[in-house]
Structure 1
């Protein structure tokens, strides 16, 4: 029976956090608002970009539409992305291994379709991910499950045959709510605090010691293959 792996893009496949922060800061500065900090950026990590700008506009009391903010931030982000973003090589290796093992592969991201296309092209990953889904194509972004369910539909794979690879808690929540298993590529500090007890459905894998082969075995064989730096909950 066919299986699939659905990867988040930003923070999972590519280290784009600094580029997004710069784009968000530049956008607010463009409209005359200063003081956007790294902490502000971090508080919105994992959200779809449309939802993020709705929250920013409401929190900061901006008299600018979220759509206009999003359009501006995408323009700034694309400029930064074309200057180069770093790939997380071990996560990319996991994607290649899953593809070679016969898994259908997709990207499902909170970013716009244009951003997804540019980042995949700039990093040379476009050939690896023929199916790309943006949150702008579904009714709501993460933590709602729709972006992953749409990827499942396009791949013609039932949700319970899909595994999601994510870095953000809202993405993990979206994957689990979609009825999929999930690999959370996370920082060491988060390993001791799983978000939910989903027996056999959630693997927390420490990014700094990520072992793509061990994660592949967990995905394909299930429990009993957890290694140091990995927590199966």
Structure 2
């Protein structure tokens, strides 16, 4: 998606653009994805795999690319032989076992995405309100997601956000998934805004790692799926993690203020030759 012409910067300070994740941040699609992987796994090995066990295993994989998720789940639940058989069912196909597994899970996921009421039930209204509030303050707002563009367009339409983003980057635009910073750096490049002037709002550890690797400021908004891993990994200072929906606006405001203060301090040190 081409970057829209926009005034750079909202309130004066070093943070001049905002980058949101989609899955798990604006909409709890991670739960829908987890369910699709689980149901596809059960379809492959109905006598050996329990849906609840796959859902639990998915918690540690949130934010990774679909290939990484599929490979990990296949290994954990012994799905490779069954997935290989499914791949061989497709005539003239060179499909790898993990790709066959992903194909099955996408069929389930597409069915879930066709239900607008289900999508609206899964939205995180507090983060959507935050996005709109930041836009009203003048910040360009972008999206970087590991979902496919056609899926993103469907979700944004249902949420009423299809006209409110200055740039949208999807998994179709990059070769590496989060925690690699490729997609965040792409947004920075396309928007013409240096990475250090972005504030990223992310729900997953992999997403936070990508933003930090890109040199961006981050606020984490964990979900029930991703919260435990944040407490285990300590990938981000607790003061920049909003575990409760009611704390999101305050944490974001403090993060922007802290970035501004740091920029002023650096400028002062440069003037004084420190």
TM band (smaller chain): 0.7 to 0.9
Matched, 1:127 2:163: yes
Residue 45 of structure 1 is matched in structure 2 by 62
2:39 and 2:105 in contact (8 A); partners too: yes
Q: Distance in 1 between matches of 2:42 and 2:230?
A: 36
Matched, 1:195 2:246: no
Give the number of the structure with larger relative contact order, counting CA–CA contacts within 8 Å between residues 6 or more apart.
2
2:19 and 2:199 in contact (8 A); partners too: yes
Matched, 1:210 2:210: no
1:74 and 1:115 in contact (8 A); partners too: no
Residue 154 of structure 1 and its aligned partner are, at CA, apart by 2.1
Q: Distance in 2 between matches of 1:25 and 1:216?
A: 34
SS at match of 1:14: coil
**How many residues of Structure 1 are paired with residues of Structure 2 in the alignment?**
222
Residue 170 of structure 1 is matched in structure 2 by 206
1:139–1:177: structure 2 CA closer, same or farther, 3 Å change rule? same
User: Superposition RMSD on alpha carbons, in Å?
Assistant: 2.8
Residue 231 of structure 1 is matched in structure 2 by none
Residue 102 of structure 2 is matched in structure 1 by 70
2:20 and 2:144 in contact (8 A); partners too: yes
TM-score, structure 1 normalization = 0.82
Matched, 1:118 2:147: no
9, 18, 21: which is aligned to 1:8? Answer: 21
111-120 or 180-189, larger mean C-alpha shift: 180-189
The C-alpha deviation readout for 1:10-60, integer Å capped at 9, x for no partner, is 111112233112211222234345324221221211212232123223443
Residue 68 of structure 1 and its aligned partner are, at CA, apart by 2.9
Residue 192 of structure 1 and its aligned partner are, at CA, apart by 6.7
147-156 or 21-30, larger mean C-alpha shift: 21-30
Q: Distance in 1 between matches of 2:235 and 2:38?
A: 33
Uncovered stretches (5+) of structure 1, i.e. residues with no partner: 226-233
Residue 79 of structure 1 and its aligned partner are, at CA, apart by 1.5
Matched, 1:35 2:67: no
Residue 61 of structure 1 and its aligned partner are, at CA, apart by 4.9
216-225 or 202-211, larger mean C-alpha shift: 216-225
Which is strand-richer, 1 or 2? Answer: 1
Residue 128 of structure 2 is matched in structure 1 by 92
Q: State the structure with more CA Rg.
A: 2
TM-score, structure 2 normalization = 0.71
1:48 and 1:111 in contact (8 A); partners too: no
47-56 or 57-66, larger mean C-alpha shift: 57-66
Residue 194 of structure 1 and its aligned partner are, at CA, apart by 7.1
1:132–1:50: structure 2 CA closer, same or farther, 3 Å change rule? farther
Residue 190 of structure 1 and its aligned partner are, at CA, apart by 7.3
Residue 136 of structure 1 and its aligned partner are, at CA, apart by 3.8
Residue 91 of structure 2 is matched in structure 1 by none
Residue 6 of structure 1 and its aligned partner are, at CA, apart by 0.9
